[in-house]
Chain A
Amino acid sequence: MIEIKNIRKVFGEKVVLDGVSHIMETGKANLIIGTSGSGKTVLQKCLVGLFEPDAGEILYDGVSFTTMNQEERKLLRQQIGMLFQGSALFDSMTVEENVQFPLDMFTKDTHAVKHKRVNEVLERVNLVGSNKKYPSEISGGMKKRVGIARAIVLNPKYLFCDEPNSGLDPQTSMLIDKLIYEITREFNMTTVINTHDMNSVMEIGDNIIYLKDGKKEWTGNSKDIIFSDNQNLNQFIFASEFLQDAKQMRMMEANGGKFPGQGNQ
Protein backbone atom coordinates (compact mmCIF):
# COMPACT_ATOMS: atom_id res chain seq x y z
CA MET A 1 0.00 0.00 0.00
CA ILE A 2 1.23 3.47 -0.83
CA GLU A 3 -0.19 6.41 1.05
CA ILE A 4 0.16 9.96 -0.22
CA LYS A 5 -0.42 12.77 2.27
CA ASN A 6 -0.85 16.37 1.12
CA ILE A 7 1.75 16.27 -1.65
CA ARG A 8 2.66 19.67 -3.02
CA LYS A 9 5.06 20.35 -5.88
CA VAL A 10 5.87 23.71 -7.38
CA PHE A 11 7.95 24.47 -10.48
CA GLY A 12 8.90 28.15 -10.44
CA GLU A 13 5.60 30.00 -10.10
CA LYS A 14 3.45 27.07 -11.21
CA VAL A 15 1.82 24.87 -8.59
CA VAL A 16 1.76 21.44 -10.26
CA LEU A 17 0.50 19.39 -7.30
CA ASP A 18 -1.54 21.08 -4.62
CA GLY A 19 -2.20 19.05 -1.48
CA VAL A 20 -2.93 15.68 -3.12
CA SER A 21 -3.78 12.85 -0.70
CA HIS A 22 -4.70 9.32 -1.69
CA ILE A 23 -4.20 5.65 -0.84
CA MET A 24 -2.91 3.23 -3.51
CA GLU A 25 -4.14 -0.21 -2.53
CA THR A 26 -2.24 -3.50 -2.70
CA GLY A 27 -3.37 -6.08 -5.26
CA LYS A 28 -5.26 -3.44 -7.22
CA ALA A 29 -4.72 -1.38 -10.34
CA ASN A 30 -4.52 2.18 -9.01
CA LEU A 31 -5.03 4.64 -11.85
CA ILE A 32 -3.99 8.27 -11.94
CA ILE A 33 -5.99 10.03 -14.62
CA GLY A 34 -6.30 13.60 -15.82
CA THR A 35 -5.78 15.85 -18.80
CA SER A 36 -2.29 16.72 -20.05
CA GLY A 37 -0.65 19.09 -17.58
CA SER A 38 -2.88 18.02 -14.69
CA GLY A 39 0.12 16.76 -12.70
CA LYS A 40 -0.22 12.99 -13.02
CA THR A 41 3.31 12.38 -14.34
CA VAL A 42 4.76 14.68 -11.67
CA LEU A 43 2.79 12.79 -9.00
CA GLN A 44 4.15 9.47 -10.25
CA LYS A 45 7.69 10.84 -10.41
CA CYS A 46 7.32 12.09 -6.82
CA LEU A 47 6.16 8.60 -5.80
CA VAL A 48 9.27 6.93 -7.21
CA GLY A 49 11.62 9.66 -6.05
CA LEU A 50 12.58 11.15 -9.42
CA PHE A 51 11.14 14.45 -8.12
CA GLU A 52 11.22 15.60 -4.52
CA PRO A 53 7.88 16.95 -3.29
CA ASP A 54 8.02 20.42 -1.71
CA ALA A 55 5.61 19.36 1.03
CA GLY A 56 3.69 16.29 2.12
CA GLU A 57 4.59 12.71 2.78
CA ILE A 58 4.71 9.42 0.87
CA LEU A 59 4.43 6.18 2.85
CA TYR A 60 5.33 2.77 1.43
CA ASP A 61 3.53 0.24 3.64
CA GLY A 62 3.66 2.72 6.50
CA VAL A 63 7.33 3.63 6.04
CA SER A 64 8.00 7.23 5.07
CA PHE A 65 9.75 7.47 1.70
CA THR A 66 10.16 11.21 1.98
CA THR A 67 12.43 11.00 5.02
CA MET A 68 14.51 8.03 3.81
CA ASN A 69 18.21 8.58 3.10
CA GLN A 70 19.77 7.61 -0.24
CA GLU A 71 20.82 4.13 0.92
CA GLU A 72 17.36 3.34 2.30
CA ARG A 73 15.82 4.56 -0.93
CA LYS A 74 18.17 2.38 -2.95
CA LEU A 75 17.00 -0.66 -0.99
CA LEU A 76 13.34 0.25 -1.42
CA ARG A 77 13.81 0.83 -5.12
CA GLN A 78 14.85 -2.77 -5.53
CA GLN A 79 11.22 -3.57 -4.65
CA ILE A 80 9.93 -1.18 -7.30
CA GLY A 81 9.41 -1.99 -10.96
CA MET A 82 8.60 0.65 -13.50
CA LEU A 83 7.31 0.57 -17.04
CA PHE A 84 8.15 3.79 -18.86
CA GLN A 85 6.12 5.51 -21.54
CA GLY A 86 8.83 4.87 -24.14
CA SER A 87 9.75 1.51 -22.52
CA ALA A 88 13.29 2.83 -21.72
CA LEU A 89 14.96 -0.39 -22.84
CA PHE A 90 18.75 -0.36 -23.06
CA ASP A 91 19.46 -0.08 -26.81
CA SER A 92 22.78 -1.88 -26.71
CA MET A 93 21.35 -4.96 -25.00
CA THR A 94 19.19 -7.76 -26.34
CA VAL A 95 15.73 -8.47 -24.93
CA GLU A 96 17.20 -11.18 -22.73
CA GLU A 97 20.03 -8.95 -21.47
CA ASN A 98 17.57 -6.15 -20.73
CA VAL A 99 15.41 -8.43 -18.58
CA GLN A 100 18.43 -10.05 -16.95
CA PHE A 101 20.06 -6.73 -16.07
CA PRO A 102 18.35 -6.24 -12.64
CA LEU A 103 19.20 -9.85 -11.76
CA ASP A 104 22.84 -9.32 -12.72
CA MET A 105 23.00 -6.14 -10.69
CA PHE A 106 21.22 -7.22 -7.52
CA THR A 107 21.43 -10.99 -7.19
CA LYS A 108 24.26 -13.44 -6.82
CA ASP A 109 22.38 -16.25 -8.57
CA THR A 110 24.15 -18.51 -11.02
CA HIS A 111 23.81 -17.87 -14.74
CA ALA A 112 21.53 -20.91 -15.08
CA VAL A 113 19.14 -19.64 -12.37
CA LYS A 114 19.04 -16.17 -13.89
CA HIS A 115 18.48 -17.58 -17.36
CA LYS A 116 15.58 -19.68 -16.05
CA ARG A 117 14.00 -16.65 -14.35
CA VAL A 118 14.38 -14.54 -17.51
CA ASN A 119 12.66 -17.19 -19.57
CA GLU A 120 9.88 -17.47 -16.99
CA VAL A 121 9.05 -13.77 -17.10
CA LEU A 122 9.38 -13.59 -20.88
CA GLU A 123 6.96 -16.49 -21.11
CA ARG A 124 4.65 -14.69 -18.66
CA VAL A 125 4.50 -11.67 -20.97
CA ASN A 126 4.11 -13.88 -24.07
CA LEU A 127 7.51 -13.10 -25.52
CA VAL A 128 8.97 -16.54 -26.08
CA GLY A 129 11.55 -16.67 -28.87
CA SER A 130 12.54 -13.01 -28.84
CA ASN A 131 15.43 -13.39 -26.40
CA LYS A 132 18.20 -12.51 -28.83
CA LYS A 133 16.48 -9.59 -30.55
CA TYR A 134 17.50 -5.98 -29.96
CA PRO A 135 14.94 -3.30 -28.98
CA SER A 136 15.27 -1.78 -32.46
CA GLU A 137 14.10 -5.07 -33.99
CA ILE A 138 10.82 -5.40 -32.08
CA SER A 139 7.46 -3.62 -32.22
CA GLY A 140 6.13 -1.02 -29.76
CA GLY A 141 3.84 -3.54 -28.07
CA MET A 142 6.70 -6.02 -27.70
CA LYS A 143 8.90 -3.29 -26.21
CA LYS A 144 6.23 -2.60 -23.60
CA ARG A 145 6.08 -6.29 -22.77
CA VAL A 146 9.87 -6.45 -22.42
CA GLY A 147 9.57 -3.37 -20.17
CA ILE A 148 7.00 -5.20 -18.04
CA ALA A 149 9.19 -8.33 -17.93
CA ARG A 150 12.17 -6.25 -16.77
CA ALA A 151 10.01 -4.48 -14.20
CA ILE A 152 8.73 -7.73 -12.63
CA VAL A 153 11.85 -9.89 -12.88
CA LEU A 154 12.89 -9.13 -9.28
CA ASN A 155 9.33 -9.81 -7.98
CA PRO A 156 8.70 -6.21 -6.94
CA LYS A 157 6.07 -5.20 -4.41
CA TYR A 158 5.24 -2.03 -6.30
CA LEU A 159 4.75 -1.59 -10.04
CA PHE A 160 4.55 1.81 -11.70
CA CYS A 161 3.39 2.22 -15.29
CA ASP A 162 3.66 5.56 -17.06
CA GLU A 163 1.10 5.66 -19.86
CA PRO A 164 1.51 1.99 -20.77
CA ASN A 165 -0.77 2.31 -23.81
CA SER A 166 0.67 5.36 -25.47
CA GLY A 167 1.46 4.80 -29.12
CA LEU A 168 -0.21 1.39 -29.24
CA ASP A 169 -3.18 0.22 -31.30
CA PRO A 170 -6.42 -0.51 -29.34
CA GLN A 171 -5.99 -4.27 -29.51
CA THR A 172 -2.40 -4.23 -28.24
CA SER A 173 -3.41 -1.65 -25.60
CA MET A 174 -6.03 -4.07 -24.28
CA LEU A 175 -3.48 -6.90 -24.17
CA ILE A 176 -1.05 -4.73 -22.21
CA ASP A 177 -3.81 -3.64 -19.80
CA LYS A 178 -4.88 -7.23 -19.30
CA LEU A 179 -1.30 -8.32 -18.69
CA ILE A 180 -0.66 -5.58 -16.11
CA TYR A 181 -3.94 -6.37 -14.39
CA GLU A 182 -3.26 -10.12 -14.26
CA ILE A 183 0.28 -9.59 -12.97
CA THR A 184 -1.01 -7.22 -10.28
CA ARG A 185 -3.45 -9.84 -9.02
CA GLU A 186 -1.08 -12.78 -9.46
CA PHE A 187 1.82 -11.24 -7.52
CA ASN A 188 -0.33 -9.10 -5.19
CA MET A 189 1.50 -5.93 -6.18
CA THR A 190 0.57 -2.32 -5.60
CA THR A 191 0.29 -1.14 -9.18
CA VAL A 192 0.10 2.55 -10.02
CA ILE A 193 -0.83 3.38 -13.61
CA ASN A 194 -0.69 6.82 -15.06
CA THR A 195 -3.02 6.96 -18.05
CA HIS A 196 -5.49 8.94 -20.11
CA ASP A 197 -6.65 5.91 -22.03
CA MET A 198 -10.39 5.62 -21.39
CA ASN A 199 -10.45 1.95 -22.20
CA SER A 200 -7.93 1.28 -19.42
CA VAL A 201 -9.99 3.37 -17.02
CA MET A 202 -13.13 1.38 -17.72
CA GLU A 203 -11.49 -2.05 -17.91
CA ILE A 204 -8.95 -2.13 -15.09
CA GLY A 205 -9.67 0.88 -12.89
CA ASP A 206 -9.93 -0.63 -9.40
CA ASN A 207 -8.99 2.58 -7.66
CA ILE A 208 -8.96 5.79 -9.67
CA ILE A 209 -7.78 9.24 -8.76
CA TYR A 210 -8.72 12.07 -11.13
CA LEU A 211 -6.44 15.10 -11.03
CA LYS A 212 -7.38 18.53 -12.30
CA ASP A 213 -4.98 21.47 -12.16
CA GLY A 214 -2.83 19.62 -9.63
CA LYS A 215 -5.71 18.89 -7.23
CA LYS A 216 -7.58 15.68 -6.47
CA GLU A 217 -10.95 16.23 -8.13
CA TRP A 218 -12.51 12.80 -7.81
CA THR A 219 -11.78 9.30 -6.62
CA GLY A 220 -13.57 5.99 -7.09
CA ASN A 221 -13.51 2.91 -9.33
CA SER A 222 -14.54 2.10 -12.90
CA LYS A 223 -18.14 1.40 -11.83
CA ASP A 224 -18.49 4.64 -9.86
CA ILE A 225 -17.20 6.64 -12.79
CA ILE A 226 -20.29 5.84 -14.87
CA PHE A 227 -22.59 7.34 -12.27
CA SER A 228 -20.38 10.23 -11.26
CA ASP A 229 -21.99 13.64 -11.53
CA ASN A 230 -18.66 15.46 -11.41
CA GLN A 231 -18.85 17.70 -14.48
CA ASN A 232 -15.10 18.01 -15.01
CA LEU A 233 -14.67 14.26 -14.80
CA ASN A 234 -17.54 13.62 -17.20
CA GLN A 235 -16.15 16.15 -19.67
CA PHE A 236 -12.75 14.45 -19.46
CA ILE A 237 -13.89 10.82 -19.60
CA PHE A 238 -16.88 11.03 -21.89
CA ALA A 239 -15.49 13.65 -24.22
CA SER A 240 -16.96 12.26 -27.46
CA GLU A 241 -20.57 11.48 -28.38
CA PHE A 242 -19.59 7.87 -28.83
CA LEU A 243 -18.31 7.68 -25.24
CA GLN A 244 -21.41 9.49 -23.97
CA ASP A 245 -23.54 6.85 -25.70
CA ALA A 246 -21.38 4.14 -24.16
CA LYS A 247 -21.96 5.71 -20.75
CA GLN A 248 -25.73 5.72 -21.34
CA MET A 249 -25.59 2.06 -22.36
CA ARG A 250 -23.62 1.13 -19.22
CA MET A 251 -26.08 3.08 -17.07
CA MET A 252 -28.98 1.32 -18.76
CA GLU A 253 -27.37 -2.06 -18.12
CA ALA A 254 -26.93 -1.18 -14.47
CA ASN A 255 -30.53 0.08 -14.31
CA GLY A 256 -32.04 -3.14 -15.66
CA GLY A 257 -32.26 -2.01 -19.27
CA LYS A 258 -33.96 1.31 -18.59
CA PHE A 259 -32.67 4.85 -18.87
CA PRO A 260 -31.76 6.36 -15.51
CA GLY A 261 -34.72 8.13 -14.01
CA GLN A 262 -37.12 5.93 -16.03
CA GLY A 263 -39.10 4.11 -13.34
CA ASN A 264 -40.76 0.68 -13.52
CA GLN A 265 -43.99 0.89 -15.43
Chain B
Amino acid sequence: MNFFTHFGKYLLMLKGMFSKPENGKLYWKEFMHQCNEIGIGSLGIASIISVFIGAVSAIQTAYQLVSPLIPKSTIAQIVRDTVILEFAPTLVCIVLAGVVGSKIASELGNMRVSEQIDALEIMGINTKSYLVMPKIAAAIITIPLLVVLAMVLGIWGGRMAGSMAGIIPKETYDAGLLENFVPFNVSFALVKAYTFAFIISSIPAYYGYYVKGGSLEIGRSSTTSVVVSCITVLLADYILAALLL
Protein backbone atom coordinates (compact mmCIF):
# COMPACT_ATOMS: atom_id res chain seq x y z
CA MET B 1 0.00 0.00 0.00
CA ASN B 2 1.30 3.43 -0.84
CA PHE B 3 1.34 6.54 1.32
CA PHE B 4 -1.95 7.91 -0.04
CA THR B 5 -3.82 4.65 0.58
CA HIS B 6 -2.63 4.65 4.20
CA PHE B 7 -3.41 8.32 4.62
CA GLY B 8 -6.90 7.95 3.15
CA LYS B 9 -7.63 4.95 5.37
CA TYR B 10 -6.28 6.88 8.39
CA LEU B 11 -8.60 9.82 7.64
CA LEU B 12 -11.56 7.47 7.22
CA MET B 13 -10.75 5.92 10.59
CA LEU B 14 -10.74 9.37 12.18
CA LYS B 15 -14.01 10.26 10.46
CA GLY B 16 -15.56 6.98 11.62
CA MET B 17 -14.86 7.87 15.27
CA PHE B 18 -17.52 10.54 15.30
CA SER B 19 -20.87 8.91 15.95
CA LYS B 20 -23.43 8.95 18.72
CA PRO B 21 -22.19 6.71 21.56
CA GLU B 22 -24.30 3.62 22.20
CA ASN B 23 -23.91 4.21 25.94
CA GLY B 24 -22.27 7.43 27.15
CA LYS B 25 -21.51 5.99 30.57
CA LEU B 26 -19.40 3.15 29.19
CA TYR B 27 -17.60 5.51 26.82
CA TRP B 28 -16.78 7.80 29.75
CA LYS B 29 -15.53 4.81 31.75
CA GLU B 30 -13.28 3.79 28.86
CA PHE B 31 -12.03 7.40 28.50
CA MET B 32 -11.14 7.57 32.21
CA HIS B 33 -9.44 4.20 31.96
CA GLN B 34 -7.33 5.47 29.07
CA CYS B 35 -6.50 8.69 30.94
CA ASN B 36 -5.18 6.52 33.74
CA GLU B 37 -3.27 4.21 31.38
CA ILE B 38 -1.74 6.98 29.25
CA GLY B 39 -1.37 9.78 31.79
CA ILE B 40 -0.65 8.11 35.11
CA GLY B 41 1.07 5.20 33.38
CA SER B 42 3.60 7.52 31.75
CA LEU B 43 4.12 9.79 34.73
CA GLY B 44 7.22 7.96 36.01
CA ILE B 45 9.16 7.85 32.76
CA ALA B 46 8.22 11.44 31.84
CA SER B 47 9.38 12.70 35.25
CA ILE B 48 12.69 10.85 35.21
CA ILE B 49 13.53 12.00 31.67
CA SER B 50 12.64 15.62 32.43
CA VAL B 51 14.77 15.88 35.57
CA PHE B 52 17.82 14.43 33.82
CA ILE B 53 17.33 16.51 30.66
CA GLY B 54 17.27 19.69 32.78
CA ALA B 55 20.28 18.57 34.82
CA VAL B 56 22.37 17.70 31.77
CA SER B 57 21.37 20.95 30.01
CA ALA B 58 22.54 23.00 32.98
CA ILE B 59 25.92 21.25 33.22
CA GLN B 60 26.58 21.31 29.47
CA THR B 61 25.56 24.94 29.15
CA ALA B 62 27.92 25.89 31.98
CA TYR B 63 30.67 23.86 30.29
CA GLN B 64 30.27 25.85 27.08
CA LEU B 65 29.96 29.29 28.69
CA VAL B 66 33.64 29.87 29.39
CA SER B 67 33.65 33.66 29.07
CA PRO B 68 33.73 35.51 32.43
CA LEU B 69 31.75 38.31 30.77
CA ILE B 70 28.58 36.21 30.59
CA PRO B 71 26.67 36.20 33.87
CA LYS B 72 25.93 32.86 35.55
CA SER B 73 22.21 33.57 35.42
CA THR B 74 22.37 33.03 31.64
CA ILE B 75 22.65 29.30 32.35
CA ALA B 76 19.20 29.37 33.96
CA GLN B 77 17.75 31.28 30.98
CA ILE B 78 19.19 28.82 28.48
CA VAL B 79 17.99 25.81 30.48
CA ARG B 80 14.53 27.36 30.86
CA ASP B 81 14.12 28.16 27.18
CA THR B 82 15.52 24.90 25.81
CA VAL B 83 13.42 22.85 28.24
CA ILE B 84 10.23 24.80 27.52
CA LEU B 85 10.69 25.15 23.77
CA GLU B 86 12.13 21.80 22.83
CA PHE B 87 13.03 19.25 25.44
CA ALA B 88 9.76 19.07 27.38
CA PRO B 89 7.37 18.85 24.43
CA THR B 90 9.45 17.11 21.79
CA LEU B 91 11.71 14.77 23.69
CA VAL B 92 9.03 13.70 26.14
CA CYS B 93 6.60 13.09 23.28
CA ILE B 94 9.19 11.05 21.36
CA VAL B 95 9.66 8.86 24.43
CA LEU B 96 5.89 8.67 24.90
CA ALA B 97 5.52 7.64 21.24
CA GLY B 98 7.44 4.52 22.24
CA VAL B 99 5.70 3.95 25.56
CA VAL B 100 2.12 4.93 24.74
CA GLY B 101 2.23 4.32 20.98
CA SER B 102 3.43 0.73 21.19
CA LYS B 103 0.87 0.03 23.90
CA ILE B 104 -2.02 1.42 21.83
CA ALA B 105 -0.91 -0.41 18.67
CA SER B 106 -0.38 -3.75 20.39
CA GLU B 107 -3.61 -3.52 22.40
CA LEU B 108 -5.74 -2.80 19.33
CA GLY B 109 -3.74 -5.25 17.21
CA ASN B 110 -4.31 -8.01 19.72
CA MET B 111 -8.01 -7.19 19.84
CA ARG B 112 -8.19 -7.31 16.03
CA VAL B 113 -6.31 -10.60 15.70
CA SER B 114 -8.28 -12.33 18.48
CA GLU B 115 -11.55 -11.15 16.85
CA GLN B 116 -12.52 -9.01 19.85
CA ILE B 117 -13.05 -6.03 17.52
CA ASP B 118 -15.29 -8.19 15.28
CA ALA B 119 -17.21 -9.29 18.37
CA LEU B 120 -17.85 -5.65 19.32
CA GLU B 121 -18.87 -4.79 15.73
CA ILE B 122 -21.36 -7.65 15.66
CA MET B 123 -22.85 -6.45 18.94
CA GLY B 124 -23.63 -3.21 17.08
CA ILE B 125 -20.89 -1.09 18.63
CA ASN B 126 -18.92 1.45 16.58
CA THR B 127 -15.45 0.18 17.46
CA LYS B 128 -13.72 3.26 16.10
CA SER B 129 -15.71 5.40 18.53
CA TYR B 130 -15.48 3.02 21.43
CA LEU B 131 -11.86 1.89 21.12
CA VAL B 132 -9.98 4.59 19.19
CA MET B 133 -11.69 7.83 20.24
CA PRO B 134 -11.14 7.46 24.04
CA LYS B 135 -7.44 6.74 23.46
CA ILE B 136 -6.92 9.84 21.31
CA ALA B 137 -9.04 12.02 23.63
CA ALA B 138 -7.18 10.74 26.70
CA ALA B 139 -3.81 11.41 25.04
CA ILE B 140 -4.86 14.95 24.08
CA ILE B 141 -5.92 15.65 27.66
CA THR B 142 -3.10 13.99 29.59
CA ILE B 143 0.00 14.45 27.43
CA PRO B 144 0.00 18.29 27.54
CA LEU B 145 -0.30 17.97 31.32
CA LEU B 146 2.72 15.68 31.31
CA VAL B 147 4.57 18.21 29.16
CA VAL B 148 3.80 21.01 31.64
CA LEU B 149 5.05 18.78 34.43
CA ALA B 150 8.14 17.99 32.35
CA MET B 151 8.86 21.73 31.97
CA VAL B 152 8.72 22.24 35.74
CA LEU B 153 10.78 19.16 36.52
CA GLY B 154 13.33 19.93 33.79
CA ILE B 155 13.93 23.42 35.13
CA TRP B 156 14.10 22.05 38.68
CA GLY B 157 16.57 19.36 37.53
CA GLY B 158 18.82 22.09 36.10
CA ARG B 159 18.63 24.00 39.39
CA MET B 160 19.55 20.92 41.43
CA ALA B 161 22.40 19.89 39.14
CA GLY B 162 23.79 23.44 38.96
CA SER B 163 23.72 23.76 42.70
CA MET B 164 25.12 20.29 43.46
CA ALA B 165 27.97 20.69 40.96
CA GLY B 166 28.77 24.14 42.33
CA ILE B 167 28.17 25.73 38.92
CA ILE B 168 25.46 28.18 39.84
CA PRO B 169 23.93 29.05 43.23
CA LYS B 170 20.20 28.43 43.61
CA GLU B 171 19.46 32.14 44.16
CA THR B 172 21.27 33.14 40.94
CA TYR B 173 19.48 30.36 39.06
CA ASP B 174 16.07 31.52 40.35
CA ALA B 175 16.86 35.12 39.40
CA GLY B 176 17.98 33.98 35.93
CA LEU B 177 14.71 32.14 35.39
CA LEU B 178 12.80 35.41 35.68
CA GLU B 179 15.01 37.33 33.26
CA ASN B 180 13.76 37.83 29.69
CA PHE B 181 10.94 35.35 30.14
CA VAL B 182 8.66 35.15 27.06
CA PRO B 183 5.22 33.70 27.99
CA PHE B 184 4.57 32.88 24.31
CA ASN B 185 7.17 30.10 24.62
CA VAL B 186 4.85 28.23 26.97
CA SER B 187 1.92 28.67 24.58
CA PHE B 188 4.09 27.44 21.72
CA ALA B 189 5.14 24.40 23.77
CA LEU B 190 1.50 23.63 24.51
CA VAL B 191 0.54 23.88 20.83
CA LYS B 192 3.32 21.38 20.14
CA ALA B 193 2.17 19.15 22.99
CA TYR B 194 -1.42 18.98 21.69
CA THR B 195 -0.24 18.29 18.15
CA PHE B 196 2.20 15.59 19.24
CA ALA B 197 -0.37 14.01 21.56
CA PHE B 198 -2.72 13.61 18.62
CA ILE B 199 0.04 12.17 16.44
CA ILE B 200 1.38 9.67 18.97
CA SER B 201 -2.08 8.31 19.76
CA SER B 202 -3.82 8.32 16.36
CA ILE B 203 -1.01 6.82 14.26
CA PRO B 204 -0.48 3.77 16.52
CA ALA B 205 -4.27 3.41 16.77
CA TYR B 206 -4.41 3.23 12.97
CA TYR B 207 -1.65 0.63 12.77
CA GLY B 208 -3.17 -1.47 15.54
CA TYR B 209 -6.76 -1.20 14.34
CA TYR B 210 -5.99 -2.40 10.82
CA VAL B 211 -3.41 -5.08 11.63
CA LYS B 212 -3.75 -8.33 9.69
CA GLY B 213 -2.20 -11.67 10.58
CA GLY B 214 -0.95 -12.96 13.92
CA SER B 215 1.32 -12.10 16.81
CA LEU B 216 4.30 -11.45 14.52
CA GLU B 217 2.32 -8.82 12.61
CA ILE B 218 1.19 -7.19 15.88
CA GLY B 219 4.86 -6.73 16.84
CA ARG B 220 5.69 -5.44 13.38
CA SER B 221 2.83 -2.96 13.28
CA SER B 222 3.68 -1.77 16.78
CA THR B 223 7.29 -1.07 15.74
CA THR B 224 6.20 0.60 12.49
CA SER B 225 3.70 2.76 14.35
CA VAL B 226 6.40 4.00 16.75
CA VAL B 227 8.81 4.77 13.90
CA VAL B 228 6.15 6.59 11.86
CA SER B 229 4.95 8.49 14.94
CA CYS B 230 8.49 9.64 15.82
CA ILE B 231 9.19 10.81 12.27
CA THR B 232 5.82 12.60 12.12
CA VAL B 233 6.50 14.27 15.49
CA LEU B 234 9.86 15.56 14.23
CA LEU B 235 8.31 16.76 10.99
CA ALA B 236 5.48 18.51 12.86
CA ASP B 237 8.08 20.00 15.23
CA TYR B 238 9.89 21.58 12.29
CA ILE B 239 6.68 22.82 10.64
CA LEU B 240 5.37 24.37 13.88
CA ALA B 241 8.72 26.04 14.59
CA ALA B 242 8.87 27.43 11.05
CA LEU B 243 5.29 28.69 11.25
CA LEU B 244 5.05 30.01 14.78
CA LEU B 245 8.50 31.25 15.78
A interface residues with partner B (beta carbon < 8 Å): 48-50, 73-78, 80, 82, 84-86, 88-91, 101-102, 104-106, 160
Given contacts A88-B116, A90-B116, contact A50 B122 (CB under 8 A): yes
Given contacts A104-B23, A104-B26, A105-B23, contact A86 B114 (CB under 8 A): yes
The reply to whether A84 and B115 contact each other, CB–CB distance below 8 Å, is yes
Q: Return chain B residues, CB-CB under 8 Å to A160.
A: 122
Is the CB–CB distance between B122 and A105 below 8 Å? no
A-B pairs under 8 A by CB, number: 52
| Contact residue among B22, B119, B121 (Cβ-Cβ distance under 8 Å from A106) | B22
CB distance B115 to A77 under 8 Å? Answer: no
- Please list 15 pairs of residues, one from A and one from B, whose beta carbons are closer than 8 Å in the complex, sorted by A's number: A49-B121, A50-B122, A74-B22, A77-B122, A77-B123, A82-B119, A84-B118, A85-B115, A88-B114, A88-B115, A88-B118, A88-B119, A91-B114, A102-B123, A106-B124
Closest to A75 in B: B124
Asked whether A50 and B121 contact (CB < 8 A) given A85-B115, A88-B116, the answer is yes
Q: What's the dominant secondary structure at chain A's contact region?
A: mixed
Closest residue of B by beta carbon distance from A50: B118
Residue of A nearest to B22 (CB): A105
State the CA gap A80–B121 with chains docked (Å): 11
Q: How far is the CB of B103 from chain A (nearest CB, A)?
A: 13
Query: In the complex, which residue of chain B has the Cβ closest to the Cβ of A78?
Result: B124
Pairwise interchain contact A80-B26, C-beta atoms closer than 8 A: no
Determine how close the nearest CB of chain B comes to the CB of A27; give it in whole angstroms. Answer: 21
B118-135 contact mask (Cβ, 8 Å, vs A): 1 or 0: 110111111000000000
Q: For A84, list chain B residues within 8 Å (CB).
A: 115, 118-119
Q: How far is it, in angstroms, between the C-alpha of A90 and the C-alpha of B119 when the chains are bound?
A: 9
Q: 10 tightest A-B contacts by CB?
A: A77-B124, A88-B115, A88-B119, A74-B124, A84-B115, A82-B122, A78-B124, A105-B23, A88-B116, A48-B122
B115 and A105: CB pair below 8 A? Answer: no
Q: What is the chain A residue whose CB lies nearest that of B115?
A: A88
- Near A by CB (< 8 A), chain B positions 61-118 give 110, 114-116, 118
A89–B38 Cα distance when bound, in Å, is: 23
Q: Considering only CB atoms, which chain A residue lies closest to B21 in the complex? A: A105
Known: A82-B119, A86-B115, A89-B116. 11 other contacts (CB 8 A): A49-B121, A50-B122, A78-B124, A80-B122, A80-B124, A82-B122, A84-B119, A85-B115, A105-B22, A105-B123, A106-B22
Residues on A with C-beta less than 8 A from B122 are: 48-50, 77, 80, 82, 160
- Tell me the minimal C-beta distance from B111 to chain A in angstroms: 8
A104: which B residues are within 8 A, CB to CB? 23, 26
**Which residues of the partner chain A approach B118 to less than 8 Å between Cβ atoms?**
50, 84, 88
Task: Report the bound CA distance from A88 to B117 in whole Å.
Answer: 8
Are A105 and B114 interface neighbours, CB within 8 A? no
CA distance A91 to B106 in the complex (A): 13
Q: How far is the CA of A91 from the CA of B110 in the complex (A)?
A: 10
Cβ contact within 8 Å between B26 and A105: yes
